Amino acid sequence: MLCKKTGLRLAAPVAVLALALTACGGGDDKKSEEKPKADAANSQAKPEAPSALSAGESTTGKVKEGDATVTYDVAAQKVDLGTEAETKKLVSDAKRAKGLVAAVAHVKYTHKAGAPLADVPDVGDGAEIYADGARGGLLIGASEDAAGCEDELELEGWKKGESHVICQTYLVPVGAKELEVRWAPEDSEAEPAVWKFPAK
Q: For residue 3, what pLDDT is reported?
A: 42
Ordered alpha helix ranges (H), the chain: 2-11, 29-34, 37-43, 84-90
Spatial CA neighbour of 26 closest among 139, 178, 131: 131
Q: What percent of the chain has pLDDT over 70?
A: 74
- Give mean pLDDT, residues 16-29: 43
Q: What percent of the chain has pLDDT over 90?
A: 56
Among 49-63, 67-81, 100-114, 119-133, the least confident range: 49-63
Mean pLDDT of 196-200: 87
pLDDT band at 4 (very low <50, low <70, confident <90, very high): very low
Q: What's the whole-model pTM score?
A: 0.77
Q: What integer best gives the mean pLDDT of the chain?
A: 80
- Per-residue b/e over 27-60, b at no fewer than 16 CB within 10 Å? eeeeeeeeeeeeeeeeeeeeeeeeebbeeeebbe
Question: Could you tell me if 105 and 165 are in contact, meaning their C-beta atoms sit under 8 angstroms apart?
Answer: no
pLDDT digits 0-9 by tens, 33-84: 333 333 333 334 444 455 789 999 999 999 999 999 999 999 999 999 999 9
Extended strands (E) in the chain = 16-17, 59-65, 68-81, 100-113, 127-131, 134-135, 137-140, 163-173, 178-183, 193-198
